[in-house]
Amino acid sequence: MARKIKDKERDSIDFGKTRIEPLFHSIFYPTLLSMVFASLFMVADGIFVGQGVGSNALAAINIVSPLFLATTGIALMFGVGVSFVASIHLSKNNHKAANINITQAFNVGTLLMVIISIAVFLFRIPFLRLLGSSDALLPLCLDYLLTILPGCICIVIQMIGTFVIRIDGSPKFAASLEIFPGILNIFLDWLFVFPMQMGIAGSGIASSISCAAAAAMVIWYMFFQAKTVKILRLKLSLTSFYLTARNVGYMARSGFSSMLGELAMSMILLTGNYVFIRELGEDGVAAFCVACYLYPVVFMVNNAVAQSAQPIISFNYGAGNRYRVRKAFRVSFATATICGVLATMFLTLGTKPLVSLFLEEGSNAYDIAISGLPLFAYSAIFFALNVAIIGYYQATEQNARATLYMLFRGLIFLVPAFILMPKFIFPQGMWLAVPVTECMTLGMILLTNKGIISR
C-alpha cells in the first residue's frame, strides 16, 4: 500500500491538465538546481586546476573540452530525442513503445560513446593536435584526456537517464543526478589536486568518478524505482536490428539540433583556442578558458528552461492541445529573457572576482581575461532567447528549423566572426565574436518567423 501511494505521488504530474505556470515551475526549479550543480561540476575543475596547478593546466583543459562537449551533445541527442518520442507514446498510453525507445536510446547511445572513446585513445596524439594543442601543452592535455575518457561513457548514461526519469514524473530525482555527483566532484577535485598533489590528472579522475556515480544512480532508478518507464530486453534478430535502427534514426533526428547546440559550444572552444593561441599564446588560451568555464553556467541555466518546457510542449503537441503548447512556450520565453538578462549582469558586474577564482591576480592571463570577459558577457541574453525558441521547435517536431538555426549559430556565423572580427577590432574582436554570432542568429530567427514571439 505504501508503495502504491509513493508511486502515485511521484506520478502526480499531469502534463495535459495541470495549469501551465505551476506545472512549468514544478519542473523548472529542480531542473535549474541540477543544472547549477552541473555547472559547478565543470567550474570546480577550472578553479582547483587554475589555483593548484597553474594557467597552462587550465589552458590544457580548454584544449580537451571539445571532446567533453561533443560527448554531452551525443547524450543530449539521444536524451532529447527519446524524451520527445516517449512523451508522445505516453500521451497515447502506449507504454510498451515508449519503453522500447528508452531501451534503444540507452543501448545505442552508450555503445556509440564506447566506440568513440576507443578511437580517441588509439589516436590520442593526432587528436590533441587537431584540437589545437601546442608542444608546451601536449603532456598536460594527455594527462587530462586519458583520465576523462571513462567518464565520457558514463555521461551518456547519466544524461539520457535525466530525461527519461523526468518524463517518469520524478524531476527531483532527475535533479539529484547532477546535485550529488556535483558535490562529489568538488570534494574529489580538492582532494586529488591539493592534499594528494595529483595535478591535472587528479581533476580528470575526480570527474570520471563523479560521472560513474551518476550513471550508477540512473541504473538503480531504472531497475528498482521506476514505475511508468522500464528497461526491456531487446530481441537479437534482423527484424529487431532494423526496428532499432529506424527508431534510433527518428530519435536522432528529433534530438539532432540539441547535439548541434553542444557542438556549437565545441566550435566556440575549438575556433577560439586556435585564434587565441595564435594571437596571444598560452596566456590567451588560459584567459579565454575563464569565459569558457563560465559560459556553460549560462548554457545550463537556459537549458533548464528549455528542458522544463520540452515535456509539457511535447506531451500536449502529441495530444493535439495547441493552446497549452503556445502557453508553455510563452512561459519558457519569458523565463529565458529574465535568465539571460541576469546572466549578462552577473558576468559583467562580477568580472574581477570571477576571474580571480581561476587565475592569479597580476598575471598576463588575468589581465587579458579582465579586459575581455565583460565583452563576452553580452552573448548571454541573445543565447537565452535562441535556446528557448529552438527548444520550442524541437518539442513541436520542427527539426529542420531547429537544426538550421543551430548550424548558423554554431558554424556559419561563428567561424567567420572569430576569423574576421579580430582583423577589425583587436583584441576586442576575439571576445565579441560569440555575442555577435548569437545576436545575428536571433535576428535571423525573428526575421524568418515574425509571429514566433506572439505564439
Query: Which span out of 30-39, 275-284, 364-373 was modeled with the highest average pLDDT?
Result: 364-373
pLDDT per position as a tens digit, 199-224: 899 999 999 999 999 999 999 999 88
pLDDT of residue 262: 74
Residue holding cell 560513446? 113
Q: What is the pLDDT confidence band of residue 432, given thresholds at 50, 70 and 90?
A: very high
Find the distance separating the first CA and the last CA of the chain, reported in whole Å. 44
Distance from C-alpha of 219 to C-alpha of 215, rounded to nearest angstrom? 6
Q: Is the pLDDT of residue 435 over 70?
A: yes
Contact 263, 136 (CB under 8 A): no
Contact 369, 293 (CB under 8 A): no
pLDDT of residue 186: 86
Question: What cell was used for 417?
Answer: 566572426
pLDDT of residue 38: 67
pLDDT of residue 13: 65
Q: Is the pLDDT of residue 10 over 70?
A: no
Question: Which of the residue ranges 19-28, 147-156, 366-375 would you say has the lowest mean pLDDT?
Answer: 19-28
Long-range contacts for 188-191 (Cβ within 8 Å, ≥24 apart)?
A: 189/44, 189/45, 189/48, 190/48
B/e letters for 269-300, b = 16+ CB within 10 Å, e = fewer, are: bbbbbbbbbeebbbbbbbbbbbbbbbbbbbbb
pLDDT of residue 143: 94
Contact 172, 9 (CB under 8 A): no
pLDDT of residue 373: 93
Question: Among 152, 151, 172, 148, which Cα is nearest to 162's?
Answer: 172
pLDDT per position as a tens digit, 104-157: 899 999 999 999 999 999 999 999 998 888 888 899 999 999 999 999 999 999
Q: Is the pLDDT of residue 2 over 70?
A: no
pLDDT per position as a tens digit, 300-350: 788 888 878 888 888 888 888 888 888 999 999 999 999 999 999 999 999
pLDDT of residue 72: 86
Long-range contacts for 372-375 (Cβ within 8 Å, ≥24 apart)?
A: 372/287, 372/288, 372/291, 372/427, 372/428, 372/430, 372/431, 373/290, 373/291, 373/294, 373/347, 373/431, 374/347, 374/348, 375/428, 375/431, 375/432, 375/435
Share of the chain above pLDDT 70, in %: 94
Q: What is the pLDDT confidence band of residue 451, given thresholds at 50, 70 and 90?
A: low
pLDDT of residue 55: 79
DSSP string, 80-126: HHHHHHHHHHHHTT-HHHHHHHHHHHHHHHHHHHHHHHHHHHHTHHH
- Using alpha carbons, list the distances in angstroms from residue 185 to 88, 145, 179, 221: 35, 17, 10, 21
Q: What is the pLDDT confidence band of residue 19, given thresholds at 50, 70 and 90?
A: confident
pLDDT per position as a tens digit, 68-96: 888 988 998 898 888 878 887 887 788 88
Looking at every residue in the chain, the average pLDDT score rounds to 85
pLDDT of residue 455: 57
